[in-house]
């Protein structure tokens, strides 16, 4: 359900400590591994948002027992995967691309569908790969039907993963349960968002799965058990960047507690990015703290591996004192919306000067005015509008409700941050 929202303007420098819920990327990977494990698992501090709830509902539909545990945890008891079942992917890439390789292990008919825009998101790569590994699938995108036989042959498969790292991660996460494991070879332009594949490899190894990623563009998962265990989910660093950006654009100070000293999350790059834009950034026992400068500097940056940060960086760039060139993110045209076209349209709609390049954006800061900011049902577009609204009165985000995809109550968290200031 859409929810129009008047982005609040900060009365002065934002000064706050903002605890951030768990990582969506980690939560959905761990839920899937727990469903395929040889025994029960516990997920501590998982993200409870639309994307993770869709994953839980899908696993339950396939016969996995997921129940609420103490302190917001999830207790996962794997069972025999089976159909018939209907899977609602919503707009969650981690559901539409991670679930089919697992559902190929089920017996029975599994029907996949999602939100209207989800039907336009690239899916052919993972579905063709599953067919090559022995799966019976009708359709090349949402909606599609998988006719499971209770197992999958597996083996070698060559794909072009230049459209999304999720194509690789989805195959790797279920590969240990295939008869011959899986070896994924990428043949194409560079794979975007490589930290997300590193995240997948890391959690697989922590679950006792043998993974060989020693060769470039090749990943092999050996057949074998997936170990059930206790998992502790890190805060979602990409979601945290939005709150840190509030300090950057208002000359304030925001701390996100629990920031890991070592992580595979792409959002960790925000510290270096904000430092390049003139912020003071420090990491200590309190967490990651950002102190904003008097004026933000523009920058020339390749976000190929951290492309999910593009809307946040673009919002910051509109408020900088010099031009910004964002490179390496052509693939985000296939995200929840075409993020490059959306950012250009909305920035220019407020009086800014942004234009698309072949693989990114050029943003030349201009005085902005209030007005409508369309979110395109995309959580990161909505939060980009919130950042700009901190210093530009009258920004009206047409659908703040879409932020529930990864943040359960973004408007409440935003309001609390500003109240503390």
The answer as to whether 230 is a domain residue is no
Same domain, 212 and 241: no
Whole-angstrom distance, CA of residue 360 vs CA of residue 113: 30
The tokens of 300 are what?
Answer: 């020339």
The answer as to whether 95 is a domain residue is yes
Same domain, 285 and 309: yes
Q: State yes or no: 165 annotated in a binding site.
A: yes
Query: Considering 168, 188, 221, which residue would you say is the last residue of a domain?
Result: 221
Q: Residues, the chain, total?
A: 421
Q: State yes or no: 24 annotated in a binding site.
A: yes
Same domain, 70 and 191: yes
Query: Considering 166, 190, 221, which residue would you say is the last residue of a domain?
Result: 221
Q: State yes or no: 121 annotated in a binding site.
A: yes
Same domain, 244 and 186: no
Q: Is the pLDDT of residue 166 over 80?
A: yes
Q: State yes or no: 153 annotated in a binding site.
A: no
The answer as to whether 226 is a domain residue is no
Whole-angstrom distance, CA of residue 30 vs CA of residue 41: 9
Q: State yes or no: 48 annotated in a binding site.
A: no
- Per-residue pLDDT tens digits for 343-358: 999 999 999 999 999 9
Q: Which residue has the tokens 């559901």?
A: 95
Same domain, 209 and 191: yes
Q: Is the pLDDT of residue 310 over 80?
A: yes
Same domain, 52 and 96: yes
Q: Which residue has the tokens 């332009």?
A: 189
Mean pLDDT score across all residues of the chain: 96
Q: What is the pLDDT of residue 1?
A: 60
The answer as to whether 228 is a domain residue is no
Same domain, 43 and 158: yes
Quick one: DSSP state of residue 228?
Answer: -
For 274-309, give the DSSP string. HHHTT-EEEEETTEEEEE--SSPPP-EEE-STTGGG
Query: Considering 221, 244, 278, which residue would you say is the last residue of a domain?
Result: 221
Same domain, 180 and 245: no
Burial (Cβ within 10 Å: 0-12, 13-18, ≥19) of residue 412: exposed
Q: What is the pLDDT of residue 153?
A: 97
- Per-residue pLDDT tens digits for 273-299: 999 999 999 999 999 999 999 999 999
For residue 67, the SS3 value is strand
Q: State yes or no: 82 annotated in a binding site.
A: no
Q: 237: part of which helix (H) or strand (E)? A: helix 237-250
Q: What share of the chain is helix, strand, coil (3-state, %, to 5)?
A: 35, 20, 40
Parallel, antiparallel, or unpaired: how do β-strands 230-232 and 41-44 relate? parallel
Catalytic residue of the set 234, 306, 308, 346: 308
Whole-angstrom distance, CA of residue 301 vs CA of residue 313: 10
Classify each residue of 355-394 as buried b or exposed e, where b means 16 or more C-beta atoms within 10 Å of its C-beta.
Answer: eeeebbbbbbbeebebeebbbbbbbbbbbbbbbbbbbbee
Q: What is the pLDDT of residue 334?
A: 86
Indicate which CATH number applies to the domain containing 74: 3.65.10.10
> Total domain count for the chain?
2
Q: State yes or no: 262 annotated in a binding site.
A: no
The answer as to whether 42 is a domain residue is yes
308 is catalytic: yes
Give the domain range for residue 84: 24-221
The answer as to whether 251 is a domain residue is yes
Peptide bond into 5 cis (omega under 30): no
Same domain, 43 and 189: yes
Same domain, 174 and 88: yes
Q: State yes or no: 308 annotated in a binding site.
A: yes
The tokens of 241 are what?
Answer: 């960047």
Same domain, 14 and 62: no
The answer as to whether 172 is a domain residue is yes
Q: State yes or no: 193 annotated in a binding site.
A: yes
Q: Is the pLDDT of residue 335 over 90?
A: no
Rounded to an integer, the average pLDDT of 231-250 is 97
């Amino acid at each position: 359900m859409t929810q129009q929202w008047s982005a609040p303007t900060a009365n002065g420098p934002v000064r706050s400590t903002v605890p951030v819920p768990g990582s969506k990327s980690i939560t959905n990977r761990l839920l899937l591994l727990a469903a395929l494990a040889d025994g029960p698992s516990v997920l501590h501090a998982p993200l409870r948002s639309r994307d993770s709830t869709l994953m839980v509902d899908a696993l339950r539909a396939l016969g996995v027992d997921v129940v609420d545990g103490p302190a917001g945890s999830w207790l996962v008891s794997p069972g025999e995967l089976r159909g018939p079942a209907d899977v609602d992917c919503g707009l969650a890439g981690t559901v539409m691309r991670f679930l089919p390789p697992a559902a190929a292990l089920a017996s029975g008919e599994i029907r996949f569908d999602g939100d209207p825009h989800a039907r336009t998101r690239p899916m052919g790569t993972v579905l063709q790969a599953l067919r090559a590994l022995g799966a019976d699938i009708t359709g090349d995108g949402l909606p599609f039907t998988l006719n499971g036989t209770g197992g999958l042959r597996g083996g070698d498969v060559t794909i072009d993963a230049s459209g999304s790292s999720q194509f690789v991660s989805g195959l790797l996460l279920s590969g240990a349960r295939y008869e011959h494991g899986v070896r994924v070879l990428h043949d194409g332009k560079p794979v975007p968002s490589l930290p997300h594949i590193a995240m997948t490899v890391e959690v697989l190894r922590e679950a006792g799965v043998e993974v060989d990623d020693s060769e470039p563009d090749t990943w092999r998962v050996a057949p074998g058990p997936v170990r059930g265990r206790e998992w502790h989910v890190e805060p979602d660093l990409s979601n945290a960047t939005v709150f840190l950006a509030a300090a950057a654009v208002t000359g304030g100070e925001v701390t996100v507690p629990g920031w890991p000293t070592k992580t595979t999350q792409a959002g960790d790059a925000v510290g270096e990015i904000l430092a390049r834009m003139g912020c003071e950034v420090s990491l200590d026992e309190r967490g990651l703290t950002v102190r904003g400068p008097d004026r933000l500097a523009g920058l020339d940056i390749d976000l190929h591996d951290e492309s999910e940060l593009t809307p946040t960086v673009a919002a910051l760039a509109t408020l900088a004192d010099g031009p910004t060139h964002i490179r390496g993110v052509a693939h985000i045209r296939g995200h929840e919306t075409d993020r490059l076209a959306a950012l250009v349209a909305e920035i220019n709609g407020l009086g800014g000067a942004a234009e698309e390049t072949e693989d990114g954006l050029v943003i030349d800061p201009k005085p902005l005015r209030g007005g409508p900011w369309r979110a395109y049902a995309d959580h990161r577009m909505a939060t980009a509008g919130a950042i700009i609204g901190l210093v530009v009165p009258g920004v009206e985000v047409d659908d703040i409700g879409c932020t529930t995809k990864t943040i359960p109550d973004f408007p409440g968290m935003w309001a609390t941050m500003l109240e503390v200031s």
